[in-house]
Structure 1
Amino acid sequence: MPDSPISATPYEVLGVSSTASQDDLRRAYRRLMRETHPDTGGDAARFTAVQVAWERVGDPDDRAAYDRGRPSTRDDETPFTWAPRAKPKQADTRPRARSYGHPGGWRRERYLVLMREWVGRGEPLDDPYDPALVRSAPMDLRHLLADALAEEATARTLAALGIGFTVWHDVSTGPPEEKIDHVVLGPTGLFAILSEDYGEPVKSRRGELLGKPLGEARPMHDLGVRAKIVSRATRVKFTALLIVLPDDALDESFTVLGTIRGATTVIARQSMLPALLRDGVPGARLIGGNELFDVRTRLQAGIRFV
């Protein structure tokens, strides 16, 4: 099962219907293996994607498990779900970062409202996170859920930074869809963060993200505009603007793109985020002491949530 609701399904990768026969599935797999093999001029990334897709649905038992929304293993019968995780018991007794707001909360709520409207108000909706239902939903609904999951993943990372950090989630800068996902304050600076998932790899050019799923969107520019609104309301300056993406969406662990109004702009893999926040963004000014206390006080008084 893909980790992201907007990742291509194995059937989409193989170019067949989800109701295709096993023979049709096998023929599509063999054809694509020939077409995409790097030794014959094919694309290595697509070649790998075809192999992964076949591993998930090539065996009839694994295919049945995938279609039921279960992991592709016959020993684990735990149903797969994108529902919110239950809060785990905290085994690590070390202090966590102070946090405020509900990460992914607005997008979760919006997803549920729109999913019920899409299914139909008169129709029962026993499980809005059923994998088969999610995969059949329009892309904008799937993207809402994917971004909510991305925000929640970032929030778990931020919580583990320790008591030296303070985090505000779902920070309002106008209409709810124009929010900052996370504002983070620590000894290495003040960060505005967007957690995004576009379902496929993206590139950067001239200080902005590029890729087929983005269309004309300018996420780094938009983050700069939103950070400016918070800066004016709270009279603080951001150290850096970060867009955090799934690890497989970027070729490099992180890339410094430039600056916006004095704030360093960075795109980074999810796994790189703790190091960037603990060690600091290259070239950015560290803050501490009375300045850190003053910035926290201003943010706490001025931040509003969606």
Structure 2
Amino acid sequence: MFDSPLSASAYDVLGVAVDASDDDLRKAYRLRLRQTHPDTGGDAAQFVQVQRAWELIGTADARAAYDRGHGFGATTSYAPDGDAPVWRPRTRQADTRPRARSFGQPGGWRRERYLDLIREWAGRGVDLPDPYEPALVRSAPHEVRRLLADALAEEATARIVAELGMGFTVWHDVAADRRDPDVKLDHIVLGPSGLYAVLSEDFGAPVRTRRGELEGDAVVGSPVAQLVLAARGLGRAAKVKFSAAIVVLPDDDVIMAIEELGKVKGLPVVVVARSALATVLRRGVAGAREIGGNELFDVRTRLQQTVRFA
């Protein structure tokens, strides 16, 4: 809520301009409370959003912090390691816990596309000192904002899987079809519970499932089917079998934290809230085959020899 390029801003929820005075802001807040209060026929979800918006911009300090942005431009760095870039999340210096070994740059492909399109949309000769400035981002066309939203979703997933520990290996932004650069797997996660193809999405609206596929006002195409096809294609190239496919969505956009959809084209599929991802990856997916012992090392080697980054 409020932290996605696709979501309404706190100012939008309260119905005021970003340069509204403190008095106008307070009046708008009280009005929106009356309009959305469940006891007067309002919508409970909207009532909660109004309260959350006031928490974010209701005081001078909170408003100043909010106006500085939500970290749309904050990404994580990586350093070369052999032939592949190794991604490292930003951590506190005192944090010395072993982490999953990660390759590739999560969200990098979509961030590059976003930067190209935001500059094209702004127009030639227009100076964009900060292409991630919140007001600029929220004013851009939906397809541009969607690229950034998905990049942020991929980065959020990468931070979670990095915490799984040294028993896991992760590849980010993997090219799944050499003939089509737009076909990629957001993440491949290998660990004792299995080998997973992972899709990180932010549609900016609630999502439901029906007959093994995602549905919703903002859902375009067949994300689950495309994920499974990409996983099967890469699996054939690397001569490995994926255990399952996982779709990761923001917590606010799913009804159930973990929803197993059964098999799609022979591959088990599960839709998970972001906060439940680590649990699923550690315990595994129903119907998915575990990978252990020498097989785990063999699968890792095959993937290292096959994976190319988008």
TM-score using structure 1 length: 0.86
**Deviation of 1:280 (Å):** 1.1
Residue in structure 1 matching 2:74, options 73, 83, 86: 83
Matching of residue 100 in structure 1 with residue 80 in structure 2: no
TM-score using structure 2 length: 0.85
**1:184-239 superposed Cα distances (whole Å, 9 cap, x missing partner):** 1111111000111122322222222222221x422111111111211221122211
Matching of residue 243 in structure 1 with residue 247 in structure 2: yes
Measured in 2, the distance between the counterparts of 1:239 and 1:205 equals 22
Q: Match of 1:177, SS?
A: coil
1:184-263 equivalences in 2 (<5 Å) = 184-214=189-219, 216-263=220-267
**Deviation of 1:63 (Å):** 4.3
- Residue in 2 that maps onto 1:126: 129
Measured in 1, the distance between the counterparts of 2:64 and 2:302 equals 54
- Residue in 2 that maps onto 1:267: 271
Residue in structure 2 matching 1:112, options 87, 111, 115: 115
- Residue in 1 that maps onto 2:82: none
Higher deviation after alignment, 84-93 or 293-302: 84-93
User: Could you list the runs of 5+ residues in structure 1 that have no partner in the other structure?
Assistant: 72-79
Measured in 1, the distance between the counterparts of 2:274 and 2:93 equals 22
**Deviation of 1:36 (Å):** 2.6
Measured in 2, the distance between the counterparts of 1:256 and 1:189 equals 16
**Deviation of 1:120 (Å):** 2.2
C-alpha change, 1:278 and 1:128, in structure 2 (3 Å) is same
Measured in 1, the distance between the counterparts of 2:186 and 2:69 equals 30
Residue in structure 2 matching 1:297, options 293, 298, 301: 301
- Are the equivalent residues in 1 in contact too, given 2:72–2:152 (CA < 8 A)? no
- Residue in 1 that maps onto 2:6: 6
Q: Match of 1:194, SS?
A: strand
Residue in structure 2 matching 1:277, options 250, 275, 281: 281
- Residue in 2 that maps onto 1:39: 39
Higher deviation after alignment, 149-158 or 9-18: 9-18
C-alpha change, 1:217 and 1:29, in structure 2 (3 Å) is farther
User: Could you list the runs of 5+ residues in structure 2 that have no partner in the other structure?
Assistant: 78-89
**Deviation of 1:290 (Å):** 2.5
Higher deviation after alignment, 189-198 or 296-305: 296-305
**1:77-107 superposed Cα distances (whole Å, 9 cap, x missing partner):** xxx5533246445533333212211111111
C-alpha change, 1:237 and 1:261, in structure 2 (3 Å) is farther
Q: Match of 2:182, SS?
A: helix
Partner AA of 1:185 in structure 2? L
Q: Match of 1:290, SS?
A: helix
Q: Match of 2:218, SS?
A: helix
- Are the equivalent residues in 1 in contact too, given 2:118–2:131 (CA < 8 A)? yes
Partner AA of 1:296 in structure 2? R
Measured in 1, the distance between the counterparts of 2:44 and 2:54 equals 16
Partner AA of 1:195 in structure 2? S
- Residue in 1 that maps onto 2:81: none
Count of paired positions? 296
Partner AA of 2:215 in structure 1? L
RMSD: 2.4
Measured in 1, the distance between the counterparts of 2:101 and 2:59 equals 47
**Deviation of 1:176 (Å):** 3.6
Higher deviation after alignment, 4-13 or 32-41: 32-41
Q: Match of 2:241, SS?
A: coil
Measured in 2, the distance between the counterparts of 1:150 and 1:191 equals 17
